[in-house]
Amino acid sequence: MSEEKKTPEQEAAELNSQQLEGVAGGKAEPTRTECIIDATLCTCCGKCVFVCPKKCISRYGDTYVINKVFCNNCGNCVKVCPVQAVKLVEF
């Protein structure tokens, strides 16, 4: 008997299913990360805007804000911020 070769989509779906079972069974805690900008530290240099692949950072008054709907939490903005105003937080 030979097993059918799975497509990458099927493998990803199976892995996701296994991860969800682990969370549902109390074996693992779901981890979420989010990029945030501390307005009290932000100097509005704009470096974060230029490195964002999703173009989801925009100026708002005296600081910048991240549109969390489109942000993929890649961390590029965190790496280029000269004053560490941008952070990738886990919750």
Q: How far apart are CA 50 and CA 28, in angstroms?
A: 36
Q: Tell me, what's the pLDDT at 77?
A: 96
Burial 39-76 (b: 16+ CB within 10 A, else e): eeebeeeebbbeebeeebbeeeeeebebeeeebebeeb
3, 8, 46, 63, 73 from 81: Cα distances, Å: 50, 36, 9, 13, 15
Q: What's the predicted TM-score (pTM) here?
A: 0.65
| Fold adopted by 33-90 | Alpha-Beta Plaits (3.30.70)
Q: 9-65 pLDDT, tens per residue?
A: 666 666 655 555 555 555 556 568 899 999 999 999 999 999 999 999 999 999 999
End-to-end CA distance of the chain: 46
